Amino acid sequence: MTNRNRLTLIGSLLLATACSHDTTQPSEKPGPSDVTGSWTENLGVTIPGVQFLLALRDSASIVTGTGTWENEAGPSGFLVPTGTAIADSIHLRIIYVPSPTFVGVKPDTAQLDAVLTTRDRIDGTLHRGSFPPSSIQLVRVKAGDPAGS
């Protein structure tokens, strides 16, 4: 085989490989629109009576939503998340609004700084009041759901 034939063969293989990518499939790298959906804290084990659940919606990189939190032997209530999702970075202010049954417990605010590591996972740090910063992992409630569901 001559050098010219080898170059032609290599060029043809490179062109075929470049053209074989299916552009109708979603990108592997998650983006802001992938934030839309229902998310729960991944605790690694099921703990009865403990839950952190967010329903988020991204519109032009502005994130809004609703949510709930529960502690087995402590207060529970509603969550009000607002913030941004730009590229794979997520920054949310989360207001904890206690259930009225917990008299004397006042609303609290937290800051979540996170990264959408996959389409179905958010890894970040939660800064809440006087508590030390904590690592948090959120997973999509139903893995594989299309964004916007």
Q: How many CB atoms lie within 10 A of CB 8?
A: 12
Domain-located, residue 8: no
Quick check: is 105 in a domain? Answer: yes
pTM value surpassing 0.85: no
Instruction: Tell me how long the chain is.
Output: 149
Q: 31-83: per-residue pLDDT in tens? A: 667 899 999 998 876 777 788 999 999 999 999 999 999 988 788 999 999 99
Domain of 130?
A: 32-140
As to burial, measured by CB atoms within 10 angstroms (0-12 exposed, 13-18 middle, 19+ buried), residue 34 is buried
User: For residue 82, which of 100, 118, 55, 105 has the smallest C-alpha distance?
Assistant: 55
Measure the CA dihedral 132/137/142/146, to 10°: 110
89 pLDDT band, cuts 50/70/90, is very high
Tell whether 3 is covered by a domain: no
Better-predicted residue by pLDDT, 74 or 115: 115
* Residue 40 pLDDT: 94
**Residue 7 confidence (pLDDT) above 70:** no
> What integer pLDDT is reported at residue 4 of this predicted model?
56
Q: For tokens 């032609």, what's the residue?
A: 8
Q: Look at residue 63 in the predicted model and tell me its pLDDT.
A: 96
Is residue 97 included in any domain, yes or no? yes
The owner of tokens 């690694």 is 44
What pLDDT digit, counting tens, does each position of 13-36 carry? 444 444 444 444 444 666 667 899
What is the C-alpha separation between 30 and 135, in angstroms, rounded? 20
Output the pLDDT for position 38. 95
Rounded Cα–Cα distance for residues 127 and 147 (Å): 27
Q: What is the pLDDT of residue 98?
A: 93
- If you average pLDDT over every residue of the chain, what do you get? 81
Q: Is the pLDDT of residue 10 over 60?
A: no
CATH number for position 39 = 2.40.128.120
Number of domain units in the chain: 1
